[in-house]
């Protein structure tokens, strides 16, 4: 997931479909997110970039740094100040739905039914040639391209999707950044994953004002488990101060860049990530101290949210240099709590 200076946001998730998954190297979903943001000045343009690359190069390859491949296809959420889209794929084939009102969520499964705004030109012919669709009646992308026998992880995805949809419905018409942060922290629904050796790795919430005079603000945790992390505001402005505390280290002999790949392991955790993990261990070992630390972190997050809300409501006009240092300062403040 990520954002660019044009206010375009893209996130992706893995899905398994009737199209075969390829272990040979191609474009990962994360590659497509990055390239869409690099080349797209609007959500629609990012979508067009991703689908063109997908049709030309395909998708595939392992998504984890382990000798045993972990391969999937991808679905995407794309948004800017004016438009929002869901893009879902199966191999080189795809369907896209423009979201014109309300809210929309995705969760590791195909979810676009008959309401298709744009699609691969050979999508329906592919479905007919494989015997997945007779050509009669309405065409539902999710029904036609979803696996008949779903893997167990897809069953969990269904409950997460339903829970996310319901949580958004409960706040219809009054969804704020704080609302989305709370939903991303919801463990009962499984949206905040913390089980079976897997933990939500990072979270992001973006506020994209329609008024071009107001900046887009992106809140990043840059640490795992949003229920115990701080959402920190980031704004694209000239002279942005780098935050080396959240930059992953580089390696001269990187196992990701050698063939065969991933024959050895390296520690890619940045400094904030390492300190945060140590704090999580403290929270689990000493609940009283852990709760006090969590309260302090929530206070830090609240300060950032209040400052951003005051700016977006026109009550405060921060200097450009303040915005340039905003994310760095928030990361630096969080680091101090972990010492």
List, as one string, the DSSP characters of 173-190: T---HHHHHHHHT-TTTT
Please give the Cα distance from 198 to 189 (Å, whole number). Answer: 15
Residue 145 domain-assigned (yes or no): yes
Residue 76 domain-assigned (yes or no): yes
pLDDT at 195: 67
Single out the residue of 222, 182, 169, 166 nearest to residue 305, CA to CA: 182
pLDDT at 196: 60
Both 2 and 117 in one domain: the answer is: yes
pLDDT at 263: 85
pLDDT at 259: 85
Return the SS3 of 268. Answer: coil
Our measurement of the distance from residue 251's CA atom to the centroid of its chain's CA atoms, rounded to an integer in Å, reads: 25
Please give the Cα distance from 209 to 207 (Å, whole number). Answer: 6
SS3 content of the chain, % helix, strand, coil (to 5): 40, 15, 45
Both 11 and 68 in one domain: the answer is: yes
Both 129 and 210 in one domain: the answer is: no
Residue 96 domain-assigned (yes or no): yes
Residue 185 domain-assigned (yes or no): no
Both 140 and 204 in one domain: the answer is: no
Please give the Cα distance from 259 to 46 (Å, whole number). Answer: 31
Both 144 and 56 in one domain: the answer is: yes
Domain final residue pick, 115, 132, 151: 151
Backbone φ, ψ for residue 198 (5° rounding): -125, 135
Q: For residue 35, give its domain range.
A: 1-151
Burial class (CB in 10 A: 0-12, 13-18, 19+), 229: buried
As for how many domains the chain has, the answer is 2
Residue 146 domain-assigned (yes or no): yes
Domain final residue pick, 151, 171, 186: 151
pLDDT at 179: 97
Q: Report whether 19 contacts 73 (CB < 8 A).
A: yes
Both 134 and 210 in one domain: the answer is: no
Token pair belonging to 9: 């946001």
Q: Which long-range contacts (CB under 8 A, 24 or more apart) does 139-142 make?
A: 139/114, 140/113, 140/114, 141/88, 141/95, 141/110, 141/112, 141/113, 141/116, 142/88, 142/109, 142/110, 142/111, 142/112, 142/113
Both 215 and 142 in one domain: the answer is: no
**Residue 38: how many CA atoms within 13 Å on its side-chain side?**
8
Please give the Cα distance from 195 to 218 (Å, whole number). Answer: 27
The whole-number mean pLDDT for each consecutive block of 10 residues of the chain, a chain of 339 residues, reads 98 94 88 98 98 96 82 96 98 97 95 98 98 96 92 82 96 96 94 78 95 96 94 97 96 89 90 92 86 93 95 90 96 92
Both 145 and 202 in one domain: the answer is: no
Backbone φ, ψ for residue 130 (5° rounding): -90, -5
Both 14 and 144 in one domain: the answer is: yes
Residue 176 domain-assigned (yes or no): no
Both 237 and 320 in one domain: the answer is: yes
pTM of the full structure: 0.95
Please give the Cα distance from 115 to 5 (Å, whole number). Answer: 30
Residue 178 domain-assigned (yes or no): no
pLDDT at 68: 80
Backbone φ, ψ for residue 234 (5° rounding): -135, 135
Both 125 and 227 in one domain: the answer is: no
Single out the residue of 187, 189, 198 nearest to residue 162, CA to CA: 189
Both 128 and 202 in one domain: the answer is: no
pLDDT at 197: 66
Start-to-end Cα distance in the chain: 29
């Amino acid at each position: 997931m990520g954002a660019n200076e044009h206010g375009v946001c893209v996130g992706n998730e893995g899905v398994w479909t009737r199209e075969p998954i390829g272990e040979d190297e191609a474009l990962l979903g994360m590659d497509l997110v990055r390239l869409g943001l690099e080349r797209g000045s609007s959500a629609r343009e990012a979508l067009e970039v991703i689908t063109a690359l997908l049709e030309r190069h395909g998708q595939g390859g392992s998504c984890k740094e382990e000798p045993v491949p972990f391969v999937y296809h991808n679905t995407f959420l794309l948004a800017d100040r004016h438009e929002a889209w869901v893009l879902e794929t199966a191999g080189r084939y795809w369907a896209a739905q423009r979201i014109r009102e309300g809210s929309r969520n995705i969760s590791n499964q195909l979810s676009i039914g008959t309401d298709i705004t744009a699609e691969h030109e050979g999508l329906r012919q592919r479905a007919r040639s494989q015997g997945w669709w007779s050509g009669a009646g309405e065409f539902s992308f999710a029904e036609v391209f979803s696996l008949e026998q779903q893997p167990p992880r897809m069953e969990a995805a269904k409950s997460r999707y339903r829970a996310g949809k319901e949580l958004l419905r409960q706040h219809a018409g009054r969804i704020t950044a704080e609302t989305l942060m709370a939903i991303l922290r919801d463990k009962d629904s499984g949206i905040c994953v913390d089980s079976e050796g897997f933990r939500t790795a990072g979270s992001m919430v973006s506020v994209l004002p329609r008024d071009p005079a107001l900046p887009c603000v992106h809140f990043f945790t840059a640490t795992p488990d949003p229920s115990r992390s701080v959402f920190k505001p980031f704004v694209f402005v000239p002279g942005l101060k780098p935050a080396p505390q959240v930059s992953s280290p580089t390696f001269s002999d990187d196992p990701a860049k050698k063939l065969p790949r991933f024959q050895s392991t390296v520690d890619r955790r940045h400094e904030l990530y390492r300190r945060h993990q140590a704090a999580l261990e403290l929270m689990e070992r000493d609940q009283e101290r852990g709760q006090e630390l969590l309260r302090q972190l929530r206070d830090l997050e609240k300060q950032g949210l209040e400052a951003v809300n005051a700016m977006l409501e026109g009550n405060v006009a921060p200097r450009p240099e303040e915005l340039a240092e905003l994310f760095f300062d928030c990361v630096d403040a969080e680091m101090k709590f972990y010492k």
